[in-house]
Amino acid sequence: MKAIPEKLFFTVIFQLFQNNSANTDLTRTAAQYMENMQINFFFNIIFALAEEIEKLKAENQAVCQEKADIESMMETASLHADDMGSDLLNRVDAVEHQFTEVIESIPVPITVTRHDGQLLYANKSAYLSFGFSAEDILKQNARDLYKNKADREKFLSILQNNGEVCNFETELKKKDGSFFLVYLSSSQIVFKNEKSLLTVIYDLTERLNSEKEIRELKEKLDRAKEREKKYLIFTIDGEEYGICLTKIKEIVGIMPITPVPDTPDFIRGVANLRGRLVPIADLRAIFGAGAADTTERTCVIISEIQRDTEKSLIGIIVDFVTEIMGIRGKDIEPPPKLDQDIDLSFISGIARVGDNVKILLDIVRLWEKFFRQSVPQVFQADESYPV
């Protein structure tokens, strides 16, 4: 028999571990497909080894028969047959040892039972899953490991009719009396000269937990979509924008602003708000809108930004504020994906309310993109530019 390429075997085993740890985004159908792929891979290895054992045993039996036939003819031939038989027995032992080593290396519970249910073999993953020791698991009968005895009869009926069982769902019992949901896939083999059943047990506990988490997350998402948040709606160059009301400190009219050299054009300067120095930016300039005359409706929205352990105030000039509006999560769409060179990370979403569209801004990301590099320079000008 050709040896299993070590690199291929460990690559597949590694992929199996990867699949078992990252399941949240698979649908149930995809998850079952991956499970079948894993089980088929294990069966291909196991049955190839089992077939090799049977082939060698048959060959050994033929040689032994040949030995018996020629014993009466010549002592030399008898000795030669002895050597051949001994060599084949060694090969059988070696392949059976390889068979066991392969099964032990597979991180999925695998058992071998007689048709009456008596366990003949269980790999480490199997006896640990049931909570038994390697010795105690072999004292068990498979029929006693089923939560529902009728499932065992149904399992054997499918096996008798089809010659194999694939993804039979049932609950098995652990040593401590608890139960766990599994898929059983089984086929008939000859193990230690006995007709037996090789069964791969796929524990569904982790997948069920993942599905439960997904359901809970979907429920939270649905509730979030129904929940309303309040937004301050304002206008820039005829377009309506919104900022979450919890981020707004206050709204003030246009106040005296002192320009600061060496700052971007959109930084109008700094203003004194009750003794605090506040950098003021013009959203028209940021969005590339043309200059507009200041009117009695022009105002400054003051927001408080958490920066490390300190809180800072920033101000943005808008044409005018229109209203405070409640917007449900389900009415908000993600911002459009444009060219990679265009950074729209400061847009948190697009709200569609009736026939109107509101562009929702993330004030923190707006600060990070447009203020962060300029604000330190502004504050350095605190003493030089009194306001």
In which residue are the tokens 């707006």 written?
366
Last residue of a domain, one of 184, 210, 236: 210
Give the number of domains in the chain. 2
pLDDT at 310: 72
Tell me, yes or no, whether 201 and 241 share the same domain: no
Question: Which segments within 248-339 are labelled E, that is strand?
Answer: 248-253, 267-273, 276-282, 299-307, 310-318, 320-328, 332-333
pLDDT at 16: 42
pLDDT tens, position by position, 312-358: 889 999 999 999 999 988 888 888 776 666 677 888 899 998 888 99
Query: Between 234 and 330, where is the model more confident?
Result: 234
Edge to edge, what strands does the sheet with 179-191 contain? 119-122, 110-114, 194-203, 179-191, 164-173
Tell me, yes or no, whether 45 and 110 share the same domain: yes
N- to C-terminal Cα distance for the chain? 89
Indicate the residue type of 85: G
Tokens of 74: 């010549």
Q: Is residue 1 part of a domain?
A: no
pLDDT tens, position by position, 355-377: 889 999 998 888 888 777 666 55
Q: Is residue 218 part of a domain?
A: no
Radius of gyration of the chain from its Cα atoms, rounded to whole angstroms = 37
Name 235's bridge partners.
240, 320
Q: Is 117 exposed, middle or buried (0-12, 13-18, 19+ CB in 10 A)?
A: middle
CATH number for position 17: 3.30.450.20
133 SS3 class: coil
Domain span including residue 332: 227-380
pTM of the full structure: 0.46
What angle (nearest 5°) sits at the alpha carbon of residue 44, between those of residues 38 and 48? 155
Q: Is residue 294 part of a domain?
A: yes
- CB of 336 within 8 A of CB of 344? yes
Distance CA 321, CA 299 (A): 8
Tell me, yes or no, whether 28 and 105 share the same domain: yes
CATH number for position 368: 2.40.50.180
